[in-house]
Structure 1
Amino acid sequence: MGALGEAELTLLLRNRTAFLLALLMPVAMVGLSWSSSREWELDGTGLSRGEAVLTGGIGLVLVLVVYQGLIPVYVARREERVLKRLRTGELTDAEILAGSALPSAALALAQCVVLVAAGAALLDVRAPAAAPLLVAGTVLGVVLLAALAAATAALTRTVESAQVTGMPLLMASVLGSGLFVPLAVLPDRVADACRMLPLTPVVELVTGGWLGGLNAAEAGRALALGMAWTAVAVFAVRRRFRWEPRA
């Protein structure tokens, strides 16, 4: 898996366009979120402007770097028959998919660390109140979105169409999971519905880990929902993932 991850990292670094997009797109989206946050009504939510932007920023990094970044990787390796050849070796199917995801996961985690440090240093945002919960939410997000990326790749015919097939989850997450607009400012019924989206439990755990205020029952519910979505994604991958080029 380490060798496979190293090979994928080399390919990512050689593809300067993909690498720069993975680095700069989350920064641009967080900047856009900061600009739009002037219109948010945060009174009574317990969130400052910087806290709302940066907690959503971690979710943005995960969905852009891990989910949107991995779909074309899986599709390209499938169409090039790399995945088919790897299955003849010692690695299991899960190890092949996980090894391919290592560079994107490492890049996303590094960017999340930078966001936390930048928030504390530049935007006068408090240090994480419950660091283990923040770490748990971030790791859950990486695993969940990598599984969802593999599931989406099964529906994607070409590398060129990868961004299109990934758009529904991206838009649902941006609009309804608290990445741009905190759920606390939405009407109660809308917020309750949005809490069932795949990325929402990750954002809730990250927010609770950074700002505190998430009790054990709420954290357990968010963790259980995130794990349930992960199980659904893994089941879909086991049933539908294609290891050979699509006809």
Structure 2
Amino acid sequence: MRALFRIEWKLFNRIKANYVFVLFVPLMILMAMRFVQDQMDLAGHGLNPGPLMVSTATGILLIFSLYSSVTGLYVARREELVLKRLRTGEVSDPVILAGGASMFITIAVVQILGVAAALSAMYGVAPRQPLAAMAALLTGVALMTAMAAATAALCKNIESVMVATLPAIFVLPMISGIYIPREVLPDAAADVLLFAPLSPTIDLVRSGWTGELSVLQGVGRFVLALAWAALFAAIAARRFRWEPRT
């Protein structure tokens, strides 16, 4: 794992443009979302903008810094025959995938912690349920990594990554309470979207700052998030390709 992390870190630093996408693009989207949410009647729906912005930032960073980046990484390393060569050694398949993604996981976690701290100071809020916030980070990383592996299985080459990740990039934030809080939606729609893949993680993030979920509710959201991660991991284990498709 350490060796794979060091290799990916060196390759990442060779292309300075990587910092533009991984660091600045999510922050620019976050600034845009703050403007959009300022136009909503959050107080009328009983929403605190501080925890809401923390959950929005977490969701955006998980999708852009982790999911899309790791999907491209898996496909690129497959096209370069790196994954195929690694499988000839003693390293297991999960370690190969986790080790390759470890660098982007580290970047995403550092970004989330830094942005959450900055937003907490900006809005004058503090975590009330740190365990819920930690559970959200764990489930978010697991889900996005598993989803990246499952998406990479659909990609024939590196050029197809952009198309394959578009549904998650555009649809997932809309249905998981990242861009639009479920409280502002009709009750029927909000009840359905409660079970969207990233919704449990976002709920746990918000509860980390608001304390709105009971222990039983938090456990339920945690289990649902892990179930989604396990589903995508099972798809990846069955469909993931370790060498270029012909």
TM range (shorter): over 0.9
Using structure 1 for the length normalisation, give the TM-score. 0.96
Alignment of 1:48-59 (within 5 A): 48-59=48-59
Deviation at 1:125, TM superposition (A): 3.4
Structure 2: stretches of 5+ with no match in the other structure:
none
C-alpha contact (below 8 Å) 1:22/1:65 kept by paired residues: yes
Partners of 1:187 and 1:193 in 2: CA distance: 10
Structure 1 pair 78/143, CA: closer, same or farther in 2 (3 Å)?
Answer: same
| Aligned residue number for residue 78 of structure 1 | 78
Query: Following TM superposition, by how much is the alpha carbon of 1:160 offset from its aligned partner in structure 2, in angstroms?
Result: 2.1
Which amino acid in 2 is paired with 1:40?
M
1:33 paired residue number: 33
C-alpha distance after superposition, 1:38-94 (max 9, x if no partner): 221213543223332222111111111110111110000001100000001121000
In structure 1, what is the Cα distance between the partners aligned to 2:226 and 2:85? 31
Alpha-carbon distance in structure 1 between the residues aligned to 2:81 and 2:180: 41
CA distance in 1, matches of 2:45, 2:82: 49
Matched, 1:126 2:122: no
**Alignment-mate amino acid for residue 55 of structure 2:** T
Q: Check the 8 A contact 1:62/1:141 in 2, yes or no.
A: yes
The C-alpha deviation readout for 1:90-128, integer Å capped at 9, x for no partner, is: 21000000000101110011011111211122x223111
Which structure 1 segments of 5+ residues have no match?
none
Report what 2:198 is aligned to.
199
Runs of at least 4 residues of structure 1 off by over 6 A?
none
Asked if the contact 2:54/2:205 (under 8 Å) is kept, the reply is: no
Q: How many correspondences in the alignment?
A: 246
2:78·2:244 contact (CA, 8 Å) conserved in 1? yes
Amino acid at match of 1:193: V
SS of the residue corresponding to residue 101 of structure 1 reads helix
Alpha-carbon RMSD:
1.2
> 2: CA distance between counterparts of 1:19 and 1:90?
33
Aligned counterparts of 2:242 and 2:107: Cα–Cα separation in 1: 25
Q: CA deviation at 1:148?
A: 0.4
Q: Aligned AA for 1:69?
A: S
User: Which range moves more in the overlay, 169-178 or 196-205?
Assistant: 169-178
TM, length-normalised to structure 2? 0.96
Instruction: Answer yes or no: is the 8 Å Cα contact 1:40–1:181 preserved in 2.
Output: no
